[in-house]
């Protein structure tokens, strides 16, 4: 059946549209151009670190100096070049087809931190933004992630309590101030997180202000351990 479908609708590279053998992947050249994170990573944000590690937890400079209320975190891609184009296409250009393959990359990146009893929880967007974009890319990723990782999805446990200005172009302190208290447990459905381990899912981590605000909201809802996974991490040298 799969084969029949593929003959009618051949698979195309997510980035350049070239025909590819595997459904929902990248062609060879685009794969090589996409900065997948491999090797030793910061245990809180997933940014790549030099060296090989000795099994001990390591943190990047940012995560040693900024409050990171969550337990552990991973990212699949560095937010630059081809990865940045894919994230922007998913976010702004209705390329919802990117969510499934991207979530598979995220499952791979987060394999060390995911446990079977976790609940995947997307970072919420304010409803006014939802009206304009029609979908929440974090919710699409969380849905696919939960499917591929075989964990529960709790999609509506958090809400944007107020509209926040876009974070783009803001400095770190401004980002944290902008987000403080902006994410809250849903008045009724937040209870679904009580006593649960949570995996927060978002498209991009920049300062970590959004993930920190969401982690606090999960804790306020009674969640146990909160971890994070993002499709892409903005690293300092990008
Ligand atoms: Zn390609
Ligand atoms: Zn870090």
Q: pLDDT tens across 134-153, in order?
A: 889 999 999 999 999 999 99
Percent of the chain residues past pLDDT 70, beyond the cut: 92
Residue 2 has pLDDT above 70, yes or no: no
Name the 3-class secondary structure at 204.
strand
* Residue 49 forms part of a structural domain: no
Residue 41 Cα to ligand 2 midpoint, Å, equals 8
The string of DSSP codes covering 11-55 is: -B-TTT--B-SSTT---HHHHHHS-B--SSB-TTT--B-SS---S
* Residue 16 forms part of a structural domain: yes
Answer positive or negative: Cα dihedral of 31, 210, 216, 63: positive
| Structure tokens that stand for 76 in this block | 């699949």
pLDDT of residue 117: 97
Q: Which ligand is nearest to the CA of 20?
A: 1
Highest mean pLDDT among 72-76, 123-127, 135-139, 171-175: 72-76
For residues 104, 217, 195, 225, the Cα torsion angle rounded to the nearest 10 degrees is 60
Q: Across residues 15-20, what is the average pLDDT?
A: 90
* Separation of alpha carbons 121 and 155, rounded Å: 6
* Residue 50 forms part of a structural domain: no
* Residue 56 forms part of a structural domain: no
pLDDT of residue 41: 96
Residue 113 Cα to ligand 2 midpoint, Å, equals 15
End-to-end Cα, the chain, rounded Å: 43
Same domain? For 184 and 124 the reply is yes
* Residue 96 forms part of a structural domain: yes
pLDDT of residue 47: 96
Domain containing 11 equals 1-33
Residue 15 Cα to ligand 1 midpoint, Å, equals 5
* Residue 87 forms part of a structural domain: yes
Contact 193, 232 (CB under 8 A): no
Q: Which ligand is nearest to the CA of 62?
A: 2
Same domain? For 24 and 128 the reply is no
* pTM exceeding the 0.75 threshold for the entire prediction: yes
Same domain? For 27 and 83 the reply is no
Residue 169 Cα to ligand 1 midpoint, Å, equals 30
- DSSP single-letter state for residue 6: H
As for how many domains the chain has, the answer is 2
pLDDT band at 238 (very low <50, low <70, confident <90, very high): very low
H helices within 110-221, ranges in order?
Answer: 127-133, 137-149, 172-179, 209-220
* Residue 171 forms part of a structural domain: yes
Same domain? For 21 and 94 the reply is no
Sort strands 73-78 and 198-205 into parallel, antiparallel or unpaired.
Answer: unpaired
Answer positive or negative: Cα dihedral of 148, 146, 101, 77: negative
Sequence-distant contacts of 179-184: CB under 8 A, at least 24 apart:
179/209, 179/210, 179/212, 179/213, 180/213, 181/213, 182/213, 183/123, 183/124, 183/158, 183/159, 183/210, 183/213, 183/214, 183/216, 183/217, 184/158, 184/159, 184/217, 184/220
Tens-place pLDDT, residues 40-60: 999 999 999 998 878 789 999
Same domain? For 73 and 23 the reply is no
Residue 98 Cα to ligand 1 midpoint, Å, equals 13
Who surrounds ion ligand 2 at CB < 5 A? Answer: 42, 44-45, 47, 60, 63
pLDDT of residue 234: 95
Residue 48 Cα to ligand 2 midpoint, Å, equals 8
12 phi-psi bin (left φ>0, alpha ψ -120 to 50, beta other): beta
Percent of the chain residues past pLDDT 90, beyond the cut: 70
Residue 134 Cα to ligand 2 midpoint, Å, equals 32
Same domain? For 17 and 73 the reply is no
Same domain? For 74 and 21 the reply is no
Tens-place pLDDT, residues 59-90: 999 999 998 999 999 999 999 999 999 999 99
């Amino acid at each position: 059946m799969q084969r029949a479908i593929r003959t009618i609708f051949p698979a195309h590279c997510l980035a350049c549209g070239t025909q590819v053998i595997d459904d929902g992947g990248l062609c060879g050249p685009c794969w090589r151009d996409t900065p997948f994170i491999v090797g030793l990573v910061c245990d809180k944000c997933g940014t790549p670190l030099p060296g090989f590690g000795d099994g001990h937890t390591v943190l990047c400079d940012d995560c040693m100096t900024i409050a990171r209320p969550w337990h552990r975190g991973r990212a699949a891609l560095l937010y630059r070049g081809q990865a940045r184009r894919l994230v922007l296409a998913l976010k702004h250009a209705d390329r919802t087809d990117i969510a499934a393959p991207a979530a598979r990359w995220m499952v791979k990146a987060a394999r060390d931190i995911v446990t079977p009893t976790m609940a995947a929880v997307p970072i919420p967007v304010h409803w006014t933004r939802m009206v304009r974009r029609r979908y929440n890319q974090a919710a699409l990723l969380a849905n696919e992630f939960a499917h591929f990782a075989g964990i529960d999805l709790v999609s509506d446990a958090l809400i944007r309590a107020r509209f926040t200005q876009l974070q783009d172009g803001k400095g770190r302190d401004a980002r944290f101030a902008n987000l403080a208290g902006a994410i809250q447990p849903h008045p009724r459905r937040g209870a679904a997180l009580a006593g649960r381990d949570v995996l927060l899912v978002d498209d991009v981590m920049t300062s970590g202000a959004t993930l920190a605000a969401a982690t606090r909201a999960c804790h306020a809802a009674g969640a146990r351990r909160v971890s994070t996974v993002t499709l892409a991490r903005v690293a300092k040298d990008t």
